[in-house]
Amino acid sequence: MAETVVQLRGVNIYQGNSLILQDVNFTIESGEFVYLVGKTGTGKSSLLKTLYGELPLKEGSCNVVGFDLKDMNWKKVPFLRRNLGVVFQDFQLMTDRNVHENLKFVLKATGWKDEKLIEEKINDVLNKVGLRSKGFKMPYEMSGGEQQRVDIARALLNSPKLILADEPTGNLDPETSDEIMQLLFQITKDYGTAIIMATHDFIVINRYPSRMLTTDRSRVIDTTVAATMHS
């Protein structure tokens, strides 16, 4: 039975006092892969920021991985984020330490203490993203695709029910983008993790069709992309 991971009802999203998106309603279940598309400035980032607790929810009801965002305050935000993974376009890896230390830092920051469990978890996520032997490498020694895999490994550390991916293929060449997309779809299948991926890349969307949320004229339109795969 699929579990509801994200549910928005009548949500209005503000940036300061400006209404960015109004009357947003959608539900996402475990294991779903959903694209978030829309022109720059139409509210994609504001929607993602609301989901991970960076923008406060003022109107409507929103539940994310079991957390009521209406009830969110700065003390609760870290607990929400432990149940989320976030993947950025620019990797945001710490350049002064190797891959293993990057991942260890996140685990320590989210309350892991047992060194043996920490080692096991790091090996586990590196294995999942196909970088088992690369833990000793510094970020600058890796290709863009490898760095993006490290970023995805980091997002998997706390076994999240939901991953928010912001333009994860934005800086990658087509072949590497393909590898990353296959990995993300594999994660939804193997672990039942839901993924919301903001993107401008319609080549990727056409190659990997899935459900799509579009921000347009302060609304969010929910469509399922039919496969338009042509050989």
Kindly report, residue by residue over 121-171, the tens digit of the pLDDT.
999 999 999 999 999 999 999 999 999 999 999 999 989 999 999 999 988
Amino acid identity, residue 209?
P
| Distance from C-alpha of 16 to C-alpha of 96, rounded to nearest angstrom | 35
Under a CB-based contact definition with an 8 Å cutoff, are residues 154 and 103 in contact? yes
Report the alpha-carbon distance of residue 203 to residue 139 in Å, rounded: 28
Find tokens 């594999």 and name the residue.
186
Neighbours of 18 (CB within 10 A): 9
Secondary element (H or E) of residue 63:
strand 59-64
Pick the CATH number of 4-224 from 3.60.150.10, 3.40.50.11750, 1.10.3720.10, 3.40.50.300: 3.40.50.300
- The model's pTM is 0.90
Q: List the chain domain ranges.
A: 4-224
Q: pLDDT per residue over 9-46, tens digit each?
A: 999 999 889 999 999 999 999 999 999 999 888 899 89
CB 50 within 8 A of CB 38: no
